Structure formats: structure tokens, C-alpha cells
């Protein structure tokens, strides 16, 4: 069973990376990260805090839409095109199919989130030019530009010489070279001096990105569940609705849970995405303790597990032939 689960997850991961919409959303997100320092340079003394908030917002929204379209491509399109009958005609049960799709989409979304997190750490390291005397962080610009250029040239070579898929190879190359670039930036300062203690890469930003990854995985489980019964458009509508409700769950449900039964039900059913969003910590200068990340991970595991069980129940009696 483990081998079958791994096979479904691996095929889903590979096919998701080859989807044009996956690369388009990822490329657009990287473009927004590049623009972020210029957008936030007019906020007086809150420049770096606003840069963090815009960067994390971009990270969150990117994960949401990649999760939706990846899940829809992995589940809905297979059902509508009837290719799922070939998979289920083999000794692969529907629960294995759903869990495999979830793991494959989660891995693809995690890879995109990782690449965007590297871009986020780089733009925070670069910072905002608050005064006319400030200079660009040329190591960041050089390393980022060289990583993208080398990834493109390497992908073009592998595609031409060995017929490797261009989109999936490009994504993997950017992830690998971006990691190398971030390691270089972690040991060199703004003047290209070896100075790991002054690299401006903070654990706060890494922890914030990890929290958002947990939120995105939770959204993947919702997208997979909706994809078992609805088409791409309805999956998009329901996931965006769940996303918005999750952001206002504390305001709408939690504050009224002690007085109204509907608020208590809404508090349990609606994913509380405020758990993963640390906007207040940005402006208050608070840290994110490891215990908080662990608690958030447990919450994600239980909620995503419950959603996947519901997805299996919804998928069990669906006609796919």
C-alpha cells in the first residue's frame, strides 16, 4: 500500500510541476517580490515592517492559488477526462488515491513555497532604500540575477539535449540554485565581506514562512476535498471563501462562541488561519517561539486529517466511470 501511495504522490508531484498555471503563478509571485522594496519605500519609518507584511502576504496568496489550481488539475481534471478510471481499475483504493493526491500536491506547493520563501528572505535582506544615501544590496541583486540566469541556461540545455520537461526542470533548478545563493548571502555582508554575523537573515522571517507553509498545506486539504465533487471554478470559489472566513474566524466566531451555538459550530468547522498569520508580531517586534510552531503543526495535522477523511467519504460514492 505504501508503494502505491508513493507512486500516486510521485506522479501527482511530477504532473503538477508540468502544469503551465503552476509556473505562471510562481513567476508572477517572484515578480511581485522583486517589486516589493520599491512599493514600500514611501511609508516613512515603517518601511521594513511593511516590506515584511507585503512579502508574507504574497507568500500566503501564492500558496493559496497554487494549492487550488494544483488540486483541481490533480483531481477534478482526472475525473472529468475519465483518466481516473484507468487508475482505479488497478488495485488502488480510493482512500489511497486521495491521500496520494494530497501528498503529491502538498509536495509541489511546498516546493513553490520554498522558492518564494527564498525570494522573501532575499528582499528582506536587501531592505528598503529609505534615504537618498542608502545603496542597493548588490550581493542580493547579483546572486538572485545569476541564479535565475544560470537556472534558465541549464534548463534550456537539458531540454534541448535530453528532452527534459522545461517547466518542471526550471522550477527544480531555481530551487537548487536559489538555495546556493541564499547560503552565499548568509555568509557575506552588503560589502561582499565574509561576515556571517551581519547577513540580515533573521530567524523570525524563517519561522513566519514555516507557519504560512502549514496554512497552505491546510488549504491543500480543502482544495482536494472540494475537487472530489466540484469543478475548477467552484473549487476556486469555495477555497477562496474558506480562506476569507479563516482570516476572520476569530472576529466572527470565537468572540461569540460562549453565547451562540452557531458561533461555536463555526469556530470548530472553519479553519482558523489567524493562527498562522503573525502580522501583529511584525509591528510589535515579538518573536515566534518554537512551541508555537509545534502547536500550529499539530492543529494543521488534525484539521487536514479530518478534511481528508471527509474527502474520502465524499469520493467513495462518486461515479467516475
**Domain locations along the chain:** 2-133+198-316
pLDDT exceeds cutoff 90 at 308: yes
What is the Cα–Cα distance from 234 to 296, expressed in whole angstroms? 28
**Mapped to the 3 state alphabet, what secondary structure does the chain carry?**
CHHHHHHHHHHHHHHHHCCHHHHHHHHHHHHHHHHHHHHCCCCHHHHHHHHHHHHHHHHHHHHHHHHHHHHHHHHHHHHHCCCHHHHHCCCCCHHHHHHHHHHHHHHHHHHHHHHHHHHHHHHHHHCCCCCCCCCCCHHHHHHHHHHHHHHHHHHHHHHHHHCCCHHHHHHHHHHHHHHHHHHHHHHECCCCCECHHHCCCCHHHHHHHHHHHHHHHHHHHHHHHHHCCCCHHHHHHHHHHHHHHHHCHHHHCHHHCCCCHHHHHHHHHCCCHHHCCCHHHHHHCCCCCHHHHHHHHHHHHHHHHHHHHHHHHHHHCCCCC
Q: Mind listing the pLDDT tens digit for each residue in 238-293?
A: 999 999 888 888 777 877 777 777 778 877 888 888 889 887 777 776 788 889 99
Grid coordinates representing 166 are: 522545461
Closest CA to 100 of 183, 25, 31, 8: 8
Please, what is the angle between helix 94-126 and helix 20-39, to 10°?
30
Confidence of residue 75 (pLDDT cuts 50, 70, 90): confident
Across all residues in the chain, what is the average pLDDT? 87
Structure confidence at residue 130 (pLDDT): 66
pLDDT exceeds cutoff 70 at 321: no
What is the Cα–Cα distance from 95 to 1, expressed in whole angstroms? 11
Tell me how far CA of residue 7 lies from CA of 97, 114, 192, 319, in angstroms.
10, 23, 45, 23
User: pLDDT higher for 4 or 255?
Assistant: 4
User: pLDDT higher for 260 or 149?
Assistant: 149
CA dihedral (109, 110, 113, 114) positive or negative:
negative
What is the Cα–Cα distance from 66 to 287, expressed in whole angstroms? 29
CB 84 within 8 A of CB 320: yes
Answering whether pTM is above 0.85, one says yes
CB 108 within 8 A of CB 16: yes
What is the Cα–Cα distance from 15 to 108, expressed in whole angstroms? 9
Closest CA to 125 of 174, 57, 190: 190
pLDDT exceeds cutoff 70 at 74: yes
Q: Mind listing the pLDDT tens digit for each residue in 205-215?
A: 999 999 999 99
% of the chain at pLDDT higher than 90: 51
Q: Give CA torsion, residues 75, 102, 109, 251, to 10 deg.
A: 100
User: Any idea which residue has 489567524 for its cell?
Assistant: 274
Amino acid at each position: 500500500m505504501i508503494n502505491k501511495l508513493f507512486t500516486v504522490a510521485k506522479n501527482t508531484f511530477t504532473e503538477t510541476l508540468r502544469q503551465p498555471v503552476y509556473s505562471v503563478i510562481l513567476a508572477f509571485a517572484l515578480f511581485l517580490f522583486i517589486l516589493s522594496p520599491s512599493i514600500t519605500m514611501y511609508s516613512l519609518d515603517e518601511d521594513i515592517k511593511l516590506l515584511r507584511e507585503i512579502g508574507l502576504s504574497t507568500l500566503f496568496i501564492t500558496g493559496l492559488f497554487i494549492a487550488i489550481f494544483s488540486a483541481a488539475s490533480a483531481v477534478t481534471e482526472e475525473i472529468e477526462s475519465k483518466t481516473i478510471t484507468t487508475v482505479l481499475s488497478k488495485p488502488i483504493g480510493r482512500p489511497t488515491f486521495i491521500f496520494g493526491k494530497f501528498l503529491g500536491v502538498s509536495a509541489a506547493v511546498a516546493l513553490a513555497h520554498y522558492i518564494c520563501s527564498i525570494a522573501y528572505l532575499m528582499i528582506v535582506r536587501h531592505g528598503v532604500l529609505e534615504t537618498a544615501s542608502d545603496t542597493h544590496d548588490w550581493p542580493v541583486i547579483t546572486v538572485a540575477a545569476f541564479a535565475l540566469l544560470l537556472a534558465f541556461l541549464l534548463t534550456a540545455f537539458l531540454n534541448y539535449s535530453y528532452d527534459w520537461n522545461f517547466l518542471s526542470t526550471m522550477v527544480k533548478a531555481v530551487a537548487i540554485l536559489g538555495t546556493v545563493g541564499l547560503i552565499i548571502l548568509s555568509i557575506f555582508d552588503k560589502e561582499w565581506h565574509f561576515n556571517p554575523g551581519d547577513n540580515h537573515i533573521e530567524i523570525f522571517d524563517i519561522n513566519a514562512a514555516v507557519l504560512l507553509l502549514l496554512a497552505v498545506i491546510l488549504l491543500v486539504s480543502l482544495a482536494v476535498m472540494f475537487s472530489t465533487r466540484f469543478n475548477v471554478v467552484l473549487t476556486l470559489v469555495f477555497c477562496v471563501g474558506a480562506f476569507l472566513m479563516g482570516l476572520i474566524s476569530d472576529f466572527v466566531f470565537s468572540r461569540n462562541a460562549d453565547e451562540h451555538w452557531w458561533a461555536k459550530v463555526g469556530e470548530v468547522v472553519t479553519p482558523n488561519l489567524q493562527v498562522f498569520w503573525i502580522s501583529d508580531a511584525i509591528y510589535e517586534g515579538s518573536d515566534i517561539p518554537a512551541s508555537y510552531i509545534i502547536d500550529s503543526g499539530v492543529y494543521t495535522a488534525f484539521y487536514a486529517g479530518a478534511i481528508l477523511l471527509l474527502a474520502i467519504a465524499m469520493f467513495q460514492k462518486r461515479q467516475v466511470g
